[in-house]
Amino acid sequence: MAEMRFNPLLGDWVMVASNRANRPHMPKGYCPFCPGSGKVPDNYDVLMYQNDFPVLSPNPPVPDPVATSLYKTTEAYGKCEVILYSPDHHKTLPELSVDHIGKLIDLWTERFVEMEKDPKNKYVMIFENRGEECGVTMPHPHGQIYAYSHVPLKLRTELDNCKKHHAEHGTCLLCDMNREEQAFERRVVVENDHFISYVPFFTDYPYGVFIVSKSHKTALTDFTPEEKRSLASILKDTTGAMDQLFDKLFPYMMVMHQRPVNGDNVEDYYHFHIEFYPPLREKDKIKWYASSEMGAWAAANTAAVEDTALKLREAYQRYLEKEGRL
């Protein structure tokens, strides 16, 4: 069963997908995403793979007959795809070359364009869950793309606040954030010609990095080839620094925030960025999202981001040394 159920308290839809309870954990000695499995080509660099257990589908089943005038249901329309980063089972994002990550960005862009063609899709979200702490069941390096038939609540809230800021100040909120972080300097982790990576003033995770475009662009489709290469470089460097923090694979949730599709024009006030939600606060300590965070959305960071950004900058230097780039 897969359907959408409306939460009238929040004005948002909940995805119900009992089929995902059957998702397999990685069997020993076998990976469906590795060449030779029979599930993927024997030769590929990056690859789109149709999700075997989609929560959203272009041909969704009819919802269960449980709706009322208060409790609404609708079909779980949309699309779910898996994006394989590499045929190498053990190579994660920071271990890939900038050229290889460039191919990944091209594939992300291609899939964004393709999903935008369906007028029923309203938001395309590109994301990655990395590490067992984030519930990953298939360790082969991969991310996912979901196309939603609505703009989810968190993204609506972000869009509304960006629009409000622009109406009040005549400027883009993310552009202003970039200026604040560049002026303050201490929260900046990595910077190149076209992107800046920092632990923003307000993040609720000790290492909750944002990667933000310096130019006012709204989506991957807006970037030049040079900007895409800069994005590939800063993705590699930022995640590489994370892996040097605690000398272990650093778990994170990475989400690309782009303009909605098939909706209002948000070009004046919205701005492309990537958000990381890493669950670790120390090497063996989880930053739990506890009752007040979940019940009230009252975020509580357990560290001053000026301190954690410094640790990430130091880890970045160790990563450059490891790569032989110093």
- The catalytic site residues sit at 142
Provide CB contacts within 8 A for 280, sequence distance 6+.
133, 206, 207, 246, 250, 251, 286, 287
- How far CA 80 is from CA of 50, 75, 122, 222, in Å, comes to 7, 14, 14, 23
Nearest CA among 137, 318, 107, 146 for reference residue 232: 107
Alpha-carbon distance of 116 to 111, in angstroms, equals 8
Position 272, amino acid: F
Rg of the Cα trace of the chain? 20
Alpha-carbon distance of 48 to 59, in angstroms, equals 19
Other beta carbons within 10 Å of 14:
10
Question: Taking a C-beta distance cutoff of 8 angstroms, is the pair 234, 211 a contact?
Answer: yes
Pairing state of beta strands 210-213 and 188-191? unpaired
Alpha-carbon distance of 53 to 272, in angstroms, equals 29
> In a 3-state reduction of DSSP, which class is residue 167?
helix
Question: Taking a C-beta distance cutoff of 8 angstroms, is the pair 101, 95 a contact?
Answer: no
Provide CB contacts within 8 A for 140, sequence distance 6+.
26, 31, 33, 34, 84, 89
Position 171, amino acid: T
User: Which sign, positive or negative, has the C-alpha torsion 128, 228, 250, 283?
Assistant: negative
